[in-house]
Chain A
Amino acid sequence: MWARNLLFCSIIFVGVAVLVAQLTPQYATRHDEQQLTEIQQTRRRAARLDPVSRQVGGALKTRWQEAGVKAVATADDLTVARRISLALVGTIPSLEEIRWLEALPDDVRLELWVDRLMRDRRFADYLAERLARAYVGVDVGPFFIYRRRRFFVWLADQIYANRPYDDLVRELIASEGLWTGRPATNFLTVTINPNDNVGHPDEVKLAGRVARAFLGVRIDCAQCHDHPFDDWTQKDFHALAAFFGQTEQTFTGISDGKRQYLFDNGGRQPPEAVEPRVPFSEDLLPAKGRLRQRLAAWVTSPKNTAFAHATVNRIWAMAFGRPLVEPLDNLPIGEKVPKVLDVLSEDFVEHGYDLQRLLRVIFRSEAFRLASRDTDSDPGDSKPSDERVADLAGAWALFPIERLLPIQLAQSIIQAASLKTINHSSHILIRTVRLFDQGQFINRYGDPGGDEFMPMPSTIAQRLLMLNGKLVQEKVKSTLFNASGLIAQLAPDDRRAIETAYLTVLSRLPTPEELAHFRQRLTGDGAETRAQCIEDLFWTLINSTEFSWNH
């Protein structure tokens, strides 16, 4: 009997010890050999990015000089780590990850962080979802012939394998086959309107998608009329649509036949065959091949700078929450673009359209590492000059703050309630519950759909959801297993409790004023239990503006 009791006690002891160990900082810097090799590898790889990083730095400095501003001070590593985490996996870092980060050497800490996240399947899933929204939108789409899930998993696989982006796009535009066997064809089948009974993808929609998603131009306004401010004419648009004119949908999937695109101007004129023609850089269009193959080759031609510009601008938006050139899908063609965009685009093309490299270069740029506030104004109460800040933000001489996307916010709330990372190695039950909670939250919060990187001010309903919503209430409530419960039970003192809560939710330590305020609350009048005080602390941090913004 005593043996069983002893066993029971020792299990409890080990469990508690593990939890305590996770809650408190570990200053152990012992790296095993594998980690040392990894660190050295990362150092070498980082060094290889130095030339392009210098170019990006140069371009940024010129831009700051032209704008007559001086960049603000750099942000600390944890702040930047939070940005990277939001950009790559769409959530804040967990306490577990923060502890891991703290133990790394300064010079490659963030590079190792990027490596770790890019190996995480969450990265491929998150990026795939962002890209899929540009490719196929968020609609359920036509029944049977469109398999969004299938498309999404395929896309995530390609990103995980770091497939060259030009190759990926060529497959999207030009592939033939069944929507199940060749998931890329869903890019085409999603545009089929089953009620039109036409049996082929919608050329007009596809032309609009290709132009926006891959070239960063809004040519689809010219669908109905010549655009008043742009160079596109209605003819340009329908000539682009004509590249999808051969494409048919049959029981064997998507294929190219002998069909021709007919334009009838919404019934206002007799149907008229339109010759396929690209709206610019016609010399890059191959003369031979199926129409879609020719279009795909033209779009992804290394000399077609619009493709690289559009991609870099989109990836930049994923990193910063805001595109380098606004709006995201209306880049100037054949005009001067910011030097930074040029430098990044050239590197992207030269290095085989490597999305992961592009992300790394962006994360290493000075612009990404800057603080999100005017650090040169006097700290404390003095008022920063509004005009100065506007100039700084306009010149990327300060990290621009942006609201988190609904998915980022939902995932971050859920992550903030757990000390351990919630990822694909979490228990299936935890992941299922997370997906369900997330869906419910986003449903109430509102999903921006395909236009994710358009600034949308927050609404009162969203604020109510944060203040009084079910998800926040459940996640804040002290239980045996969640962060607020564990901290209430296991933190050795008030200071550690507050610090751990801050790290878990805001990925930073409290300021001295904040620490003093909450210490007083914890020891205060005694009307609430300690667990309730920690609940209040979690509720407060999750409801703070800082939490729901990328900064």
Chain B
Amino acid sequence: MEPLNNRHPYSFRSSADDALPTRRGVLKLGMAAGASWLTGVAELLAQQPAPGERSAGETRAQSVILLWLEGGPSQLETFDPHPGSPIAGGTKAIATRVPGLQLAEDFEQLADQMQSVSLVRSIVTKEGDHTRGAYLAKTGYRPNPTAVHPSIGAICCHELAVGGTEIPRHISILPSSSAGRGGFLGSRYDAFRIGDPAQPVSDVAGWVDQERFQRRLGDLNVVDRAFERPRRTLLAVDQPRHTLKAARRIMSSEQLAAFEVSQEPRGVLRRYGDTPFGRGCLAARRLIEVGVRCVEVNLTGWDSHAENHKIQRRLVRTLDPAFAALLADLRERDALKRTVVLCAGEFGRTPRINALDGRDHWPNGFSVALAGGGIRGGLAVGETDPHGSRDVKDPHAYADIHATILTALGIDRGKENISRAGRPIRLSEGEPIKALLG
């Protein structure tokens, strides 16, 4: 018998070698389980580790909604205004419900919700490129060729119980190319992507009537049987039967109605601002009600290298009603304490205004907003320099935001998963921001 050495060409990969069961690993497992092993493996693949069911009355956070501002919002025109300073370029600030806490103008509705929102105005990173910055923001790790890290949404799905949720539990609405990925946890944890919720969700409805669809499935069974039976050992790792069953469960699930924002009263839709992004936020609220763990809603276009003020203002006017209505709606439904809302982009924008009246990429001190999930509201963590230098008070890494959210969700951030290269990687290497937690 050969030693189970990782380096040996024909060795089984050790069970800790991969977050996914490997081909040979599953074969071995299957053999151990004996005749009824196929079901066993299917369950193993389908179920996520449930970290102890929580009692119904528990109020700890259970879901994350990420309002993703793709392109890099300007901290100066959003959460960190410096009115009257040379770097403001004329942008004014408004008072909010929290004394002393200001937002940039046009955030009138959010201003009224600031008792629930905290700002971290001192994120400092080394990633000034869109793709790399988005990777860092979503995963809490810098891009690194030795491992593809899972996004925060994938981690939530991996760590939190499935419950009765039949539809995908990680969803990206109006997705960008940086939609959350499962990384080394597996593509099973990739975000399920949908467009504007005004449209029906793609791929969940058949093109033919129910009767004909059933006939097709019957035919499929005839063709698949001949191929799958003699190869089932090798197919065990993939479980095509399992994905077919799960896909059909989604297609017939009543929870699909959660995507249909048109079921909401007109007034509610208007409150969110009748925009694709606003509808996305409303869908996000409906989705977490049926147990979806992470919903990403994307608002793109913040990359204002020219005409910064005009672009930022237009987008803030879309963001403001949606963000504020989401918070108010969650609170009214008593769901805010169970839902973490993060509003963030990949980096901020330069304090200096360029020749085209634009602002360029600035990872050296920018802002994100956090709310819900037991995270304390009404605070501003860190400060940037009103003269635009790189001096940042109380700087935080993006990973600290991840650590804070994981803590709010009751997930041990120190837990290690094994990357595909066999390296243990923690859920987050950041430190929770103490001021924001309980």
Contact = CB atoms under 8 A, between A and B. Distances in A.
Interface stretch (B84-92, B157-165, B226-234): B226-234
Nearest to B205: A468
B10 A394 contact: yes
Contacts of A331: 9
A514 B186 contact: no
B20 A457 contact: yes
B214 to A, nearest CB: 11
Given A332-B8, A543-B220, A467 B203 contact: yes
B376 interface: no
A462 B243 contact: yes
Contact of A195 (B20, B128, B215, B220): B128
B219 A517 contact: yes
Contacts of A387: 31
Given A377-B230, A389-B233, A229 B7 contact: yes
B131 A461 contact: no
A458 B240 contact: yes
B148 interface: yes
Interface in B143-184: 145-146, 148, 168
Interface in B43-58: 45
Interface string B189-208: 01011000000001111110
B1 interface: no
A171 to B, nearest CB: 22
A511 B10 CA distance: 36
B190 A384 contact: no
Contacts of A469: 202-203
A221 interface: yes
A387 to B, nearest CB: 5
B216 A218 contact: no
Interface stretch (B22-30, B116-124, B257-265): B22-30
Chief secondary structure at chain A's binding surface: loop
Nearest to A137: B145
B216 to A, nearest CB: 5
B423 interface: yes
B6 A451 contact: no
A521 interface: yes
Interface in A448-472: 448-451, 454-465, 467-470
A381 B129 CA distance: 57
Interface stretch (A125-133, A253-261, A534-542): A534-542
B190 A459 contact: yes
B361 A464 contact: no
Interface string A363-390: 0000000001110010001001011011
B246 interface: yes
Given A229-B7, A461-B190, A514 B222 contact: yes
Contacts of B247: 460, 463-464, 467
A539 B216 contact: yes
Contacts of A193: 129, 132
A531 B321 CA distance: 51
B244 interface: yes
B315 interface: no
Nearest to A543: B220
A282 interface: no
Contacts of B192: 461
B188 interface: yes
B235 A401 contact: yes
B206 to A, nearest CB: 6
Given A540-B216, A544-B224, A463 B24 contact: no
Nearest to B189: A459
Indicate the size class of the contact surface on chain B: 35 or more
B190 A544 contact: no
Task: Name the residue among B24, B206, B216 with the largest chain A CB count within 10 angstroms.
Answer: B216
Residue among A209, A457, A521, A532 with most chain B CB within 10 A: A457
Given A460-B247, A461-B203, A455 B23 contact: yes
Interface string A168-199: 00000000000000000000000001110000
Nearest to A516: B222
Nearest to A450: B145
A217 to B, nearest CB: 10
Contacts of A464: 203-204, 247, 250-251
A54 B187 CA distance: 41
Among A208, A456, A460, A518, the most chain B Cβ lie within 10 Å of the Cβ of A460
A457 B145 contact: no
A76 interface: no
B223 interface: yes
A389 B233 CA distance: 7
A393 interface: yes
A545 B23 contact: no
Given A193-B129, A457-B238, A545 B224 contact: yes
B422 interface: yes
A346 to B, nearest CB: 17
A142 B128 CA distance: 12
B192 to A, nearest CB: 5
A140 B129 CA distance: 11
B212 interface: yes
A449 B128 CA distance: 22
Interface residues of A, number: 84
B203 A330 contact: no
A400 interface: yes
B230 A373 contact: yes
A460 B9 contact: no
A467 B230 contact: no
B205 A332 contact: no
Contacts of A286: none
Contact of B31 (A139, A386, A528): A386
B129 A195 contact: yes
Given A332-B9, A468-B203, A539-B216, A456 B224 contact: no
A541 B8 CA distance: 40
B421 A465 contact: no
B295 to A, nearest CB: 15
B237 interface: yes
Given A229-B6, A325-B9, A386-B233, A468 B422 contact: no
Contact of A335 (B7, B205, B212): B7
A209 B223 contact: no
Interface string B354-366: 0000000101000
A15 interface: no
A16 interface: no
Contacts of B148: 449, 451
Contacts of B186: 456-457
A514 B226 contact: yes
B203 A386 contact: no
B243 A463 contact: yes
A401 B234 contact: yes
Which of A140, A142, A229, A458 has the most C-beta atoms of chain B within 10 angstroms of its own C-beta?
A458
B255 interface: no
Contacts of B227: 544-546, 551
A337 B9 contact: yes
Contact of B361 (A195, A455, A463): A195
A446 interface: yes
Interface string B406-433: 0000000000000011110000000000
A212 B128 CA distance: 27
Contacts of A521: 215, 219
B231 A455 contact: no
B222 A536 contact: no
A457 B190 contact: no
Given A338-B9, A455-B237, A401 B204 contact: no
B18 to A, nearest CB: 9
The 3 closest A-B pairs by CB, nearest first: A195-B128, A373-B230, A389-B233
11 contacts: A209-B145, A377-B230, A384-B233, A461-B192, A462-B243, A463-B247, A467-B247, A468-B206, A469-B202, A513-B222, A521-B215
Given A229-B422, A463-B244, A464-B250, 11 more contacts: A193-B129, A335-B8, A341-B9, A386-B27, A386-B37, A390-B24, A456-B187, A460-B243, A467-B206, A528-B212, A537-B219
